[in-house]
C-alpha cells in the first residue's frame, strides 16, 4: 500500500478530489478528508454538537453513500475542531482503540507518517489543516498509485514546498500540538494570506 496526500485551500477542490478518487474505483474506506469547519463542511456534516468535543468521533469513520456522506466533527488539540471522514481521521482520533479525540495532539502526524508520508510533509499538512486548509489522503495498492497521485495533483492542491516556506518566513519550524486554536478571524486572515502569498 502507498499513501498519497494533497492539501487544498478551497474546500470544493478537496471535495472534487474525494469524488474523483471514488469514481476511479478507490474505496471510500481508503480515502480521508480532514479540514477546519467551513461553510462547505457545514452544509454536509451530519455530526451533532457533542462531536466537536471528541465525544462523537465514531461519525468520522464514514458510512454508506460515499466518504462525504460520513462527515462528522471531532476536536484535535493544536488544530481545533475539524470535520472529517475516513481511515486517517479515525486513526488520528484513536477511534480504533476506543479513545476520544482529546488525546490525539500528534495523532494526525503520527497517522500520516505511519502510513508512509514523510514526517516533514506531515507537519506541513497538519499545520495547513490548523490554518484552515483541507487535507485529502488516499492509501492505494501499487496498481492505483499513478491514478491516485494524478487525481490529487489535478485538483489544485497547495504547493507543499511553497507553503512550508510561507510558514518558515514567520519562524515556524514544525506543527505544535500545544498551539492555541485559531479564531474565525485568524482563520480568515490565514486563508487570505495563503491566497496572496508570494515567496520572498
Note the pLDDT tens digit of each residue in 87-142.
776 666 554 333 333 333 357 888 888 889 999 999 999 999 999 999 999 999 99
Q: Which of 118, 102, 117, 119 is nearest to 177 (CA)?
A: 102
Paired sense of beta strands 80-86 and 31-36, if any? antiparallel
Gyration radius of the chain over CA positions: 15
Q: Say if CB 135 and CB 125 are below 8 A apart.
A: yes
Note the pLDDT tens digit of each residue in 18-64.
999 999 999 998 999 999 865 555 455 444 333 333 333 334 444 44
Give the span between the Cα atoms of 32 and 84, in whole angstroms.
Answer: 7
Q: How much is the pLDDT for 77?
A: 64
Q: How much is the pLDDT for 62?
A: 41
Q: Which residues contact 180 (CB under 8 A, 6 or more apart)?
A: none
Residue boundaries of the structural domains of the chain: 2-196
Could you tell me how far CA 132 lies from the centroid of its own chain? 10
Three cell numbers, residue 70: 460520513
Q: Say if CB 3 and CB 103 are below 8 A apart.
A: no
Amino acid at each position: 500500500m502507498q499513501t498519497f496526500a494533497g492539501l487544498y485551500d478551497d474546500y470544493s477542490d478537496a471535495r472534487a478530489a474525494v469524488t474523483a478518487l471514488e469514481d476511479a474505483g478507490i474505496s471510500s474506506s481508503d480515502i480521508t478528508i480532514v479540514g477546519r469547519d467551513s461553510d462547505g463542511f457545514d452544509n454536509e456534516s451530519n455530526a451533532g454538537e457533542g462531536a466537536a468535543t471528541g465525544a462523537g468521533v465514531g461519525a468520522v469513520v464514514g458510512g454508506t453513500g460515499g466518504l462525504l456522506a460520513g462527515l462528522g466533527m471531532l476536536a484535535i488539540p493544536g488544530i481545533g475542531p475539524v470535520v472529517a471522514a475516513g481511515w486517517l481521521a479515525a486513526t488520528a482520533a484513536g477511534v480504533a482503540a476506543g479513545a476520544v479525540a482529546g488525546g490525539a495532539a500528534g495523532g494526525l502526524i503520527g497517522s500520516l507518517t505511519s502510513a508512509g508520508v514523510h514526517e516533514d510533509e506531515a507537519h506541513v499538512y497538519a499545520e495547513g489543516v490548523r490554518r484552515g486548509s483541507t487535507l485529502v489522503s488516499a492509501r492505494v495498492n501499487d496498481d492505483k498509485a499513478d491514478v491516485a497521485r494524478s487525481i490529487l495533483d489535478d485538483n489544485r492542491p497547495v504547493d507543499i514546498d511553497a507553503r512550508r516556506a510561507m510558514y518558515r518566513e514567520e519562524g515556524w519550524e514544525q506543527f505544535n500540538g500545544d498551539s492555541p486554536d485559531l479564531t474565525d478571524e485568524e482563520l480568515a486572515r490565514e486563508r487570505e494570506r495563503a491566497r496572496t502569498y508570494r515567496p520572498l
